[in-house]
Homo-oligomer: A and B are copies of this chain.
Amino acid sequence: MEQFLNEAKKGSRVLNTLSGREKNRILREMAEAMRANTMTLIEANAIDMANGKENNLSSALMDRLLLDENRIDAMAVAVEEIAALKEPTGRVLDGWVTEDGLKIEKVSIPIGVIGIIYESRPNVTSDTAALCFKSSNVCVLKGGKEAENSNQAIAKVLQAVLEKNNLPKELISLLPDSSREGVAKLIKMDKYVDLIIPRGGEALIRYVSENATVSVVKHDKGLCHTYIDKDADQEKAVKIAINAKVQRPGVCNAMETLLVDKAVAAEVLPKLKEGFDAAGTDLRGCGATQDIINVTNATDEDYDTEYLANILSIKVVDGVNEAIEHIVRFGSGHSEAIITENITTAEEFLNNIDAAALYVNASTRFTDGGAFGFGAEVGISTNKLHARGPMGIEGLTTYKFKIYGSGQTR
């Protein structure tokens, strides 16, 4: 492992010598190579699919795992889109002249070697490899066990393009030891690895946070709320609440708890119930909610749960302050929304909650790189530092200061 990571680290210096034009040409070659190897990729994926069937993977997981011609083309298109992004390194982020006459430039640079731990979808392999290559970072990828054959086939296609271009194949690597022990080693290799990005379940994130000596940018859970204020436009409120829950319940920016101002609960809850019933949502509510609509009981445990399913907890609250208190207690700092026409209430909500993304009159579902306009995204960071919220390719860069003097001493 150490020797492998040493090669990866050396590779990061090779990457620095490539021009943006070379990197983009190679990325386009990678996209073409994926298309040309469609059948090979589908065959490798078929092994994973067969194993998945044998291991009784859920139909949702099986669907995430599947590669077909369309999906492989979509992966190639994603790589081409990444090639088309603006060069992320070498940007002058700031610059000034000091009192001593030193000219300082703060310039974006690659982070170095990035370890990424993720789960079932094989497209993450090519997306992440392309994002790292575009930003001149070496990536060490550790995908899910269930997608092992697919990921290996994809990496092989990408590595063949690297080698054809006389580049070390270590620039895009799968972690050689993909066991738990392999991960345990990787996250302690701060001599070679500059950043670990764990994307996955709470147990993985917790494990990495507790054991890594390398810096970590977590992609953790989202326990997101929507608060319907007494001054809400109720039509907007109902539309946004239903969208935030049901449009795609299994993702981190979906709503888990709906908070409703008691001043309008009697009026708005029946309208909400109608919409949620039509969408087949399992509704749970506090006592005050149950006094108005017929739902099962919600407990503190419900308020503390990221369902990732079409289930919603509802709580009636006494105005924006109680809504804020509830979110401060139960929120995960991901995405929170208020529906109100009142500017003072809106600002109170925005200023008193600490979360990556705070919405006024919009669905929490917008928290992602695409919707934010970042282009391809690394994921949605739940870190408070370095990258917070949707993490675009800029999140894969850091900076250095270049200082031009003319003989200055202190």
Contacts and interface: CB of A to CB of B under 8 A. Distances in A.
Interface stretch (A61-69, A301-309, A353-361): A353-361
A98 B375 CA distance: 12
Interface in A361-378: 361-363, 365-366, 371-373
A400 interface: yes
Contact of A357 (B235, B328, B401): B401
Interface residues of A, number: 65
Contacts of A359: 403, 405
A320 to B, nearest CB: 15
A236 interface: yes
Contact of A100 (B358, B366, B388): B366
Interface string A373-410: 10000000001111011000000001111111111111
Interface stretch (A42-50, A73-81, A116-124, A207-215): A207-215
Given A360-B404, A388-B400, A409 B96 contact: no
Contacts of A356: 400-401
A403 B209 contact: no
A307 B243 CA distance: 62
Contacts of A240: 407-409
Nearest to A408: B362
Scoring A233, A352, A360 by chain B CB atoms within 10 A of each residue's CB, the highest score goes to A360
Scoring A99, A361, A401 by chain B CB atoms within 10 A of each residue's CB, the highest score goes to A401
A15 to B, nearest CB: 12
Contacts of A407: 233, 235-236, 239-240, 361-362
Contacts of A355: 400
A69 to B, nearest CB: 27
Contacts of A385: 111, 194-195, 215, 217, 385-386, 398
A85 B100 CA distance: 20
A373 B215 contact: no
A369 to B, nearest CB: 11
Contact of A361 (B104, B328, B366, B404): B404
A16 interface: yes
B213 A400 contact: no
Nearest to A217: B385
Per CB-CB distance, the 7 closest pairs between chain A and chain B, nearest first, are A362-B405, A243-B409, A236-B407, A362-B408, A385-B386, A361-B405, A365-B410
13 contacts: A16-B351, A98-B366, A104-B372, A111-B384, A235-B407, A239-B407, A247-B409, A356-B400, A360-B402, A360-B405, A361-B408, A362-B403, A385-B386
Given A98-B372, A235-B407, A365-B410, 9 more contacts: A96-B373, A98-B366, A104-B372, A109-B354, A233-B407, A239-B407, A357-B401, A358-B402, A360-B404
